[in-house]
Amino acid sequence: MIKKEMIAMLLAGGQGSRLGVLTSKVAKPAVAFGGKYRIIDFPLSNCINSGVDTVGVLTQYQPLRLNTHIGIGIPWDLDRNIGGVTVLPPYEKSNNSEWYTGTANAIYQNFDYMDSFNPDYVLILGGDHIYKMDYDVMLECHRAKNADVTIAVMPVPIEEAKRFGVMITDGDKRITDFEEKPENPRSNLASMGIYIFNWATLKEALLNNADLPNLDFGKHVIPYCHKKDASLYAYEFNGYWKDVGTLESYWEANMELIDIVPEFNLYEEYWKIYTKSEILPPQYIADNTWVEKCIIGEGTRVYGKVYNSVIGCGVTIGKDCIVRDSIIMNNVDIGAGCELYKAIVAENVVVGADVKLGIGDEVANETDPHIYSSGIVTIGEKSTVPAGVTVGKNTVIFGITDLSDYPDNLLPSGKSLIKAGGEV
């Protein structure tokens, strides 16, 4: 008989549109992070490190990269005879075929998957945060309180609490009330979107609400459980937990990794983060270079100068380049003599020689000022930037561009250059 005490359901279907062109071809959980990782590596590694060996990954938006990354789960030791990792895309049914319309709807559509493991508890996770968390400790807490639902919460400054779902608890951490993005928050405990449900409770809630449109945990399932007098508890988490939902926070979280003793430390023996490594060889740092305060992935070759940056695997940084405060993802080729200031360069980009990125004044972006801000230059995957051009701040480039796209060899600050057919 198949029996798993706790299984995890990882919601990885979202686009994450605030990451702009970084997610135009890949789902947000598949976006590269920290030189060699992808965002989904963090919750997946947390699962296996917590002893959760059965993980359903729900995909919907642009799943190819996620699928190839996860494979059969070898890097996370999630290749199991029973359980392991399973990618769960939406599928056609004899009646009522639909996409995943909400977080809880996606879980509901995979009811049979969960039921087949006969679990006691189901752990619901998101795929878009950087953190290390022992879900087993959370489960212990769940059991000790005899809870039906436990929600992981994080104390945040009260002025920021209005961006989150806020939990109001009593002295025993029992949730008495909750508010979604309140104007005047009554508590500073923000929901992290991590839930442990008793399977019986979740089953009942899903079946009774199946017909609600866009069934969502925060909006429907948790309120339903609360109304039914289920015992809801908060589990307070005080470690590092970083949302990487915007380009600015994504850039910041990457930069935090290169502090001398980073708050989020990848170098700890305990609680390793696993990822699929395709590139193994060491990195080569040539003569006449300077690398300072940065992390660099495998197989990268540096012939220029790199300061305060996060560089992925298989990257080439040409002679006399200056790379500063930038994030460069895997397999990027930066030509000789380039200067990069606060740039995010996605995978497989080719930048020609003597290109200057991030030069000039800060001007708000013309098309998406809320996405492309903070002076960051963003270049989408598989793009090409021709030699000799200068690019301003708050800009975005996506697709194969040539000199004719840059009048006077210049893309001024605040401009968006998005060419159709970014794919080769």
Partner 1 sequence: MRAIGIILAGGNNYRMRELSQKRAVCAMPIAGSYRSIDFALSNMSNSHIKKVAVFTQYNARSLNEHLSSSKWWDFGRKQGGLVVFTPAVTSENSFWYRGTADAIAQNLAFLKDSHEPYVVISSGDCIYKMDFNKVLEYHISHKADITVVCKDLEAEYNVDRYGILKMNEERRIEEFEEKPVIARTNTISCGIYVVRRRQLIEMIEKGAEEDRFDFVKDILIRYKGMKRIFGYKLKDYWSNIATVEDYFNTNMDFLKQETSDFFFRQYPDIYSKVDDLPPAKYNYGAHIKNSLISSGCIINGTVEDSVIFKKSFIGNNCYIKNSIILNDVYIGDNTHIENCIVESRDTIRANSYHKGEDGIKIVIEKNDRYVI
**Closest by alpha carbon to 321, among 277, 289, 285, 358?**
289
**Residue 297 interacts with partner 1 (CB under 8 A)?**
yes
Residues 186, 189, 192: CA angle, nearest 5 degrees: 135
Amino acid (1-letter code) at residue 287: D
Q: Which of 200, 286, 364, 403 binds partner 1 (CB under 8 A)?
A: 286
**C-beta of 166 vs 345, nearer to partner 1:** 345
Residue type, 407: P
Asked if residue 304 binds partner 1 (CB under 8 A), the reply is no
**Residue 307 near residue 317, CB atoms below 8 Å:** no
Task: Count the alpha carbons within 13 Å of 410 in the hemisphere toward its beta carbon.
Answer: 8
End-to-end C-alpha distance for the chain, whole angstroms:
49
Report, in Å, the least distance between residue 79 CB and partner 1: 9
Question: What are the structure tokens assigned to 362, written together?
Answer: 């800060």
Q: Which is nearer to partner 1, 167 or 346 (CB)?
A: 346
Between CA 181 and CA 82 the distance in angstroms is 40
User: Are 274 and 191 in contact, with CB atoms under 8 Å apart?
Assistant: no
What is the pattern of x (binds partner 1, CB under 8 A) and - over residues 71-100?
---xx-------------------------
Q: Amino acid identity, residue 148?
A: D
Q: How far is the CB of 85 from partner 1 (least distance, A)?
A: 15
Instruction: Check residue 281 for interaction with partner 1 (CB under 8 A).
Output: yes
Q: Does 35 bind partner 1 (CB under 8 A)?
A: yes
Nearer to partner 1, 131 or 197 (CB): 131
Q: Are 63 and 56 in contact (CB under 8 A)?
A: no
What is the spatial distance between Cα 118 and Cα 116, in angstroms, rounded to a whole number? 5
* Cβ-based nearer residue to partner 1, 17 or 265: 265
Nearer to partner 1, 35 or 127 (CB): 35
Which residue type occupies 251? W
Contact between 212 and partner 1 by CB under 8 A: the answer reads no
CB 29 within 8 A of CB 40: yes
For partner 1, how many residues bind (rule: CB under 8 A)? 37
Return the residue of 24, 283, 373, 409 that touches partner 1, per CB under 8 A.
283
Q: Does 284 bind partner 1 (CB under 8 A)?
A: yes
Q: Does 328 bind partner 1 (CB under 8 A)?
A: no
Q: Are the beta carbons of 6 and 52 closer than 8 angstroms?
A: yes
Pick 80 or 370: Cβ nearer partner 1: 80
By the 8 A CB rule, do 334 and 315 touch? yes
Interface residue with partner 1 among 16, 20, 34, 73 (CB under 8 A) is: 34
Helix (H, G, I), strand (E, B) or coil at 163: helix
Under DSSP, the state recorded for 172 is T
User: Closest CB to partner 1 among 78 and 107?
Assistant: 78
Interface of this chain with partner 1, residues 251 to 270, rule: CB under 8 A: 258, 260, 266-267
Nearest distance from C-beta of residue 234 to partner 1, angstroms: 32
Residue 295 interacts with partner 1 (CB under 8 A)?
yes
H or E segment to which residue 223 belongs: helix 222-227
Kindly state whether residue 46 participates in binding partner 1, applying the rule CB under 8 A. no
DSSP helix/strand/coil, 35:
coil
Q: Is 43 in the site for partner 1 (CB under 8 A)?
A: no
Interface residue with partner 1 among 2, 118, 163, 290 (CB under 8 A) is 290
Q: Does 335 bind partner 1 (CB under 8 A)?
A: no
The nearest distance, CB 316 to partner 1, in angstroms, is 10
Stretch that binds partner 1, among 50-58, 131-139, 291-299, 339-347 (CB under 8 A): 291-299
Minimum CB distance to partner 1, residue 129 (Å) = 18
> Could you say whether residue 171 binds partner 1 (CB under 8 A)?
no
- Say if residues 105 and 214 touch (Cβ distance below 8 Å): yes
Task: In whole angstroms, give the CA distance from residue 288 to residue 305.
Answer: 8
**403 is a contact residue toward partner 1 (CB under 8 A):** no
Return d(Cα 390, Cα 410) in angstroms, integer: 5
Binding of partner 1 at residue 289 (CB under 8 A)? yes
User: Both tokens of residue 60?
Assistant: 């919907």
Nearer to partner 1, 326 or 365 (CB): 326
Is residue 273 helix, strand or coil? Answer: coil
272 binds partner 1 (CB under 8 A): yes
Binding-site ranges for partner 1 (CB under 8 A)? 34-36, 74-75, 258, 260, 266-267, 272-275, 277, 280-299, 310-311, 313
